[in-house]
């Protein structure tokens, strides 16, 4: 594919033919050599999109996806460029939130199994998992446009949770009238559910603090128990993406747009098709914020029941909630000038350093936490962004480890019972909605998350704050 080393941890596919920008890939030599040819072709294809600025970007967890690689980023000029659903993904605002506690492993180890069992009963999970809530179409429409504030006002959490959620839990401009009836029907019964695949709910222990000053400001310390929730917009987001892909294919003919891959179907950002998709995408993003907020409320309830104290007394404040699959209107410096861009992040985490307007007051001096989840048996991380990352990747870092093995191949290699036994032999408790799901998500199916994080740091895109190891995991 013609990758050339630019510097430590940075590689480039030079601009050729009708590519508008070069393609840049970040990672150690080991990670870059393991990238599938299809994913490299995808990051190259993205460089053809009208309006793309600086580079088409592949992050260290990059692997093959739909249109864009997962782990792909593109900053596209808002006035002259396009929006492509393939650059956001089907699980719109798949993301992570991290809940702190003032507990230690000693406090919860005797009650760990009870906590996990009750969490499994409190939070619906699995393929097609049905919610304990029953929203009408009108209620769902309000949630889609209002975001996390809607469920907080219904009693699912605390007002201060909103300040620690990306975009305060609500992306402005969501319009439920742009969402299909089919998406609404899929969304109503799944509101407040974990889902399946790589989604999880995990009780963790902070094993390392790398930056004591930032760690203290975030309220993190070694030995502390945290809870991580990883899920997205469920079937609702998937349906929104599916609905608009057909419209985008038609729009390309209408606006005479040519791209090298049909999966990169797109429309001008300012066109009716582009604006309608963005309004619906924002609804799906807000749905996911609500989803994680509701799940967190139930998690707090389980801890209260098992430990006999209220969540406030247990220190169960939200550190942060962050998106992985979304497009955001942001201002970035291009050739020395401030430009409004639509930054597509697919399997990528925003990591804005100190001083950016995107940071809420609590994170103005540090930059907001960038949460990087692991998978069963592997660590998760909290990072902060850097000025280098702002210049290089529009303030973006990896979103996890990234798959190296298909789900089918993982199931061929190991049965779920074996995965469960191996992890529990290491002292990690596991509950899954299905044994096949455990097999699909075995640790070996993913890249080494520690090396992914090392790659992010080597390239100067982000800095480690803390490392979190799993004690008990609930999988959909």
Task: State the Cα–Cα distance between residues 277 and 374, nearest whole angstrom.
Answer: 31
Task: State the Cα–Cα distance between residues 159 and 292, nearest whole angstrom.
Answer: 15
- CA angle, corner 393, sides to 387 and 397, nearest 5? 85
To which H or E segment does residue 45 belong? Answer: helix 37-46
- Phi, psi angles (nearest 5°) of residue 454: -60, -40
Strand partners, 25: 11, 58
Task: State the Cα–Cα distance between residues 436 and 413, nearest whole angstrom.
Answer: 12
Catalytic residue among 324, 399, 408, 468: 399
Three-state secondary-structure class, residue 202? strand
Name the token pair of 337: 């000038």
Name the token pair of 414: 């190991």
Which residues lie closer than 8 Å to 11 by C-beta, 6 or more apart? 3, 4, 5, 24, 25, 26, 27, 32
DSSP state of 147: T
Task: State the Cα–Cα distance between residues 157 and 161, nearest whole angstrom.
Answer: 7
Task: State the Cα–Cα distance between residues 280 and 173, nearest whole angstrom.
Answer: 9
297 is catalytic: no
Task: State the Cα–Cα distance between residues 148 and 350, nearest whole angstrom.
Answer: 19
CB 232 within 8 A of CB 94: yes
In 3D space, the residue among 257, 245, 205 whose CA is nearest the CA of residue 89 turns out to be 245
Three-state secondary-structure class, residue 144? helix
Three-state secondary-structure class, residue 171? coil
Which residues lie closer than 8 Å to 69 by C-beta, 6 or more apart? 39, 42, 43, 46, 58, 62, 63, 346, 347
Task: State the Cα–Cα distance between residues 467 and 72, nearest whole angstrom.
Answer: 24
CB 266 within 8 A of CB 255: no
Orientation angle between helical segments 272-307 and 234-254, nearest 10 degrees: 170
Q: Active-site positions?
A: 399
């Amino acid at each position: 594919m013609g990758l050339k080393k630019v510097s430590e941890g940075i590689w480039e596919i030079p601009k050729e033919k009708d590519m508008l920008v070069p393609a840049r890939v970040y990672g150690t030599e080991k990670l870059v050599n393991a990238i599938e040819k299809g994913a490299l072709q995808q990051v190259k294809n993205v460089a053809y999109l009208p309006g793309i600025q600086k580079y088409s970007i592949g992050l260290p967890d990059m692997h093959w996806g739909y249109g864009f690689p997962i782990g792909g980023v593109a900053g596209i000029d808002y006035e002259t460029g396009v929006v492509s659903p393939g650059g956001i993904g089907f699980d719109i605002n798949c993301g992570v939130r991290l809940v702190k506690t003032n507990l230690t492993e000693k406090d919860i180890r005797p009650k760990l199994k009870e906590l996990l069992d009750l969490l499994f009963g409190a939070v619906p999970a699995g393929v097609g998992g049905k919610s304990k809530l029953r929203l009408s179409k009108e209620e769902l429409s309000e949630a889609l446009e209002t975001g996390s504030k809607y469920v907080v006002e219904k009693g699912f959490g605390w007002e201060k949770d909103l300040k620690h959620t990306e975009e305060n839990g609500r992306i402005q401009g969501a319009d439920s009238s742009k969402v299909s009836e089919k998406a609404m029907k899929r969304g109503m019964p799944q509101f407040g559910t974990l889902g399946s695949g790589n989604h999880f709910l995990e009780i963790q222990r902070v094993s390392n603090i790398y930056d004591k000053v930032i760690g203290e400001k975030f309220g993190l310390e070694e030995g502390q128990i945290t809870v991580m929730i990883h899920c997205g917009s469920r079937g609702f987001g998937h349906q929104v993406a599916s609905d608009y892909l057909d419209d985008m294919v038609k729009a390309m003919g209408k606006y005479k747009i040519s791209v090298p891959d049909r999966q990169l179907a797109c429309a001008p950002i300012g066109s009716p098709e582009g604006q309608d998709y963005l309004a619906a995408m924002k609804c799906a993003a807000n749905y996911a914020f609500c989803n994680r907020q509701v799940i967190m409320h139930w998690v707090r309830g389980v801890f209260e029941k098992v430990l006999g104290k209220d969540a406030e007394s247990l220190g169960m404040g939200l550190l942060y909630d962050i998106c992985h699959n979304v497009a955001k209107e942001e201002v970035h410096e291009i050739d020395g000038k401030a430009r409004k861009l639509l930054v597509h992040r697919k399997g990528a985490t925003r990591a804005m350093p100190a001083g950016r307007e995107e940071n809420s007051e609590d994170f103005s001096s540090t930059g907001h936490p960038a949460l990087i989840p692991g998978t069963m048996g592997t660590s998760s991380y909290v990072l902060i962004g850097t000025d280098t990352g702002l210049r290089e990747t529009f303030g973006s870092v990896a979103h996890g480890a990234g798959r190296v093995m298909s789900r089918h191949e993982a199931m061929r290699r190991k049965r779920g019972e074996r995965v469960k036994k191996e992890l529990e032999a290491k002292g990690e408790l596991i509950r899954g909605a299905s044994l096949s799901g455990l097999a699909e998500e075995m640790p070996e199916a993913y890249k080494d998350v520690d090396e992914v994080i090392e790659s992010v740091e080597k390239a100067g895109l982000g800095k480690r704050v803390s490392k979190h190891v799993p004690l008990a995991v609930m999988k959909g």
